[in-house]
Chain A
């Protein structure tokens, strides 16, 4: 059994905890949160030992791996502390507040040969995996344009203070929301290397942006558009779409549906000329425990397997998440 602990039992942390709790190869040895109410409730009703001080928890429980789901501001220092104690780390997205913070952590994980993963769960989604497979096989011919979009109803009115509305804590649509689609662009196409212009627009928030619009250029010179808005209540939940256009066809993929158009008969296996529609129901891998989407269970299962040495630690590493932090930094700078 892998001994796993969790630091931060907020919305994401509690979801990870439930999936870990049901995982047959995991023993949850400790949960740490600064809210007394949270640790009181978990302490009384769940089987997990609870702590308010993570140092004490690590010392007493000696976990093999730790999940970090605290506000982004604390990621860098916590992750460093864990790596120095030779503990494998899964940290929520985004990786760090700046690329400068994250860079030494990549080296540190490498030095101690520790498994490192960041919670960009879309990479474990069946439709986006198929998008990547099609792009890696060059099925679209020469690609000339892409569009990465995310819309949803996170901030739809003026709000009281939360860490998500504070730029110092890692709040704002760019870090919290757009990071998902930036990471998907980096993964399915190529890393973003320059940004020719960006609009960071506050709508309801005072101190952070609620929408991000950018013109991007990738390492292979491909150009495209980023359009993200978390203040759009015409969407029930977050909807992320990647559109890619090439000389041989076009792909439009969201987390549920993959639409592929081919101009002629020269198509990959399983596809024909014209429009092809595939659903996540056909493309997704089965999981042993489902909470809120297969991808949330799959990413944890992948991490557990990586620590146990059953799969390579290649998806969502600190290195790839750092490239996303770097793109976020380029977008910030281009908006000034």
Chain B
């Protein structure tokens, strides 16, 4: 994985500290061109990986990338699935069965239903595989070396003790997409234990890592201890703790931790992107010396 990954929260009005900023972002990134322009700033700053949720609008970004193969020759996308609100809203409106019907391609769903609803419940892993395929459709022809399970699903399954589904995601992504599976989580030490027990070696985990311990469930000490003593490849997210820590200080902390392979961040402005990249490069250099 590259050292710096560019995130997409700012494009889809996801803001963990301000509802007001979230609405301002929705206005700013109304047009896909605004997203593309910001992505290009990131590329100019030397970032080649875009980690994004499988939001409907990402399909348009993928179209743009496919239409400009030369420009995006080295560009990679790390899809994070699913866009949970899409399913949550559908479940509220339609219930579980009709939601599956909506998102699983027509014929396949009919095939599954032939055995009655029992088939649905008896082989949930097969259902999950169909849902992964549906989510991956928009990325056809694009380099997606790591495919992620979103934290709300990872952590839901973790709490429910549904280890086989987590492992099912890991194995299917490996097999079908020749990609590595990554897990986003707010409960890194707990998840690592489950993945290790399931035989996943050196798993890729994206999780909150920041100086103030924000969204580091169980406490910052357990996280630091895990990073020091265990085998895992971490993508650090929420390094600024939603803006609570000044950028330099935040990045210095993360750059000094072991086992952090990549740093994920999102930003709307060119200046902010350049500034963050420069900070990461600066502290990485210092450590090498």
Cross-chain contact of B92 among A35, A162, A257, A287 (Cβ < 8 A): A162
Q: Contact between B160 and A11 (Cβ–Cβ < 8 Å)?
A: no
Complex Cα–Cα for A119 and B43 (A): 45
Q: Contact between A236 and B190 (Cβ–Cβ < 8 Å)?
A: no
Complex Cα–Cα for A325 and B213 (A): 38
Complex Cα–Cα for A287 and B217 (A): 6
A279 within 8 A of B: yes
For residue B265, give the distance in angstroms from its CB to the closest CB of chain A: 16
B161 within 8 A of A: yes
For residue B223, give the distance in angstroms from its CB to the closest CB of chain A: 12
Interface string of A8-48 (1 = CB under 8 A from B): 00110011011111100000000000011110111011111
Complex Cα–Cα for A38 and B241 (A): 36
Complex Cα–Cα for A257 and B22 (A): 12
Cross-chain contact of A44 among B122, B158, B217 (Cβ < 8 A): B122
Stretch from A79-87, A195-203, A289-297 at the B interface: A289-297
Complex Cα–Cα for A256 and B22 (A): 11
Chain A residues contacting B242 (CB-CB under 8 Å) are: 279-281
Chain B residues contacting A289 (CB-CB under 8 Å) are: 155, 159, 187, 190, 217-218
Chain B residues contacting A281 (CB-CB under 8 Å) are: 16-17, 212, 214, 241-244
Chain B residues contacting A239 (CB-CB under 8 Å) are: 19
For residue B59, give the distance in angstroms from its CB to the closest CB of chain A: 18
Interface string of A257-294 (1 = CB under 8 A from B): 10000000000000000000001111000111111100
Interface string of A318-329 (1 = CB under 8 A from B): 000000000000
Complex Cα–Cα for A257 and B24 (A): 15
B34 within 8 A of A: no
Chain A residues contacting B160 (CB-CB under 8 Å) are: 14, 17-18, 21, 42, 45-46, 48
Look across to chain A and name the residue whose beta carbon is closest to the beta carbon of B220. A286
B234-286 residues with Cβ-Cβ distance < 8 A to A are 241-244
For the complex of A and B, the 4 pairs showing the least CB-CB separation, nearest first, are A18-B159, A40-B121, A290-B186, A22-B159
Residues of chain B at the chain A interface (Cβ within 8 Å): 12-20, 22-23, 26, 85, 88-89, 91-97, 117-118, 120-122, 124, 152, 155-162, 164-165, 186-187, 190, 212-219, 241-244
Q: Please list 30 pairs of residues, one from A and one from B, whose beta carbons are closer than 8 Å in the complex, sorted by A's number.
A: A11-B91, A11-B92, A17-B160, A22-B187, A35-B96, A37-B97, A45-B124, A45-B160, A45-B164, A45-B165, A46-B161, A153-B89, A154-B89, A160-B93, A162-B92, A234-B26, A236-B14, A236-B22, A256-B19, A257-B18, A257-B19, A257-B20, A280-B17, A281-B244, A286-B217, A289-B155, A289-B187, A290-B186, A290-B187, A291-B156
Residues of chain A at the chain B interface (Cβ within 8 Å): 10-11, 14-15, 17-22, 35-38, 40-42, 44-48, 153-154, 159-160, 162, 164, 234-237, 239, 241, 254-257, 279-282, 286-292
